[in-house]
């Protein structure tokens, strides 16, 4: 914990002012949530395992590979790793892999196209755990009422639309990462 806050031994024995490059709210949210989360369906580590350069993609497995490629290019341009749960096999069940991926991700991109129930479940997990969530969709009608107040990126699944999606995602990722 002390290394994540940028505190060394000297600072525990001296009174002084120090400015740290740490988001204290996000730190407290991720560190203190362990005492409140005890799901019955899947297992979570007691403390968050945030990886600052991890971006995850939640989309229907059958969704276009071209959409995923555009998201991966945007993430790569921002210096982030981009994974989708079906690319990972760390646990016995897909749900465990999905949960672990969301848990360690700094940013979660969710494609609401087609109103996939799994994607909406994953959006709920990401929101509950304080993750930065970027919603994308091909159709405004696919954004349900409970999420309609949030901003989202609308895209067309053609070359021009995917290039625009990539540029908009890159800009949003850079904003979320503070640069």
DSSP letters along 41-67, please?
A: SS---SS---EEEEEEEE--TTS-HHH
What's the rounded Cα separation, in Å, for the pair 75 and 102?
15
- pLDDT of 31 > 70? The answer is no
pTM beyond 0.85: the answer is no
Edge-first strand order for the sheet with 81-84 is 81-84, 51-58, 105-111, 132-137, 152-154
- pLDDT of 15 > 90? The answer is no
Closest by CA to 91, choosing from 75, 102, 106, is 102
What are the structural domains, with CATH classification, of the chain? 1-36 (no CATH), 40-176 (3.40.50.360)
- Read off the pLDDT of each residue in 85-105 and give the average, rounded to a whole number: 89
Tally the C-alpha atoms within 13 A of residue 13's C-alpha that lie toward its C-beta: 3
- Residue 110 is predicted with a pLDDT of 98
**Residue 109: pLDDT band with limits 50, 70, 90:** very high
Percent of the chain with pLDDT over 90: 61
């Amino acid at each position: 914990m002390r290394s994540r806050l940028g505190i060394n031994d000297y600072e525990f024995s001296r009174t002084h002012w120090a400015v740290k490059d740490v988001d204290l709210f996000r730190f407290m949210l991720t560190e203190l949530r362990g005492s409140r989360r005890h799901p019955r369906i899947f297992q979570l580590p007691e403390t968050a395992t945030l990886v600052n350069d991890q971006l995850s993609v939640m989309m229907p497995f059958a969704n276009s590979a071209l959409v995923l490629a555009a998201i991966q290019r945007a993430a790569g341009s921002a210096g982030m790793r981009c994974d989708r749960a079906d690319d990972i096999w760390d646990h016995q069940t897909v749900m465990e892999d999905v949960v672990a991926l969301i848990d360690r991700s700094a940013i979660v991109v969710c494609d609401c196209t087609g109103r996939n129930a799994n994607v909406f479940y994953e959006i709920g997990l990401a929101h509950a755990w304080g993750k930065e969530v970027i919603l994308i969709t091909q159709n405004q009608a696919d954004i349900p009422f409970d999420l309609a107040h949030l901003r989202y990126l609308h895209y067309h699944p053609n070359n021009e639309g995917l290039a625009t999606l990539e540029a908009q995602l890159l800009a949003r990722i850079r904003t979320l990462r503070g640069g």
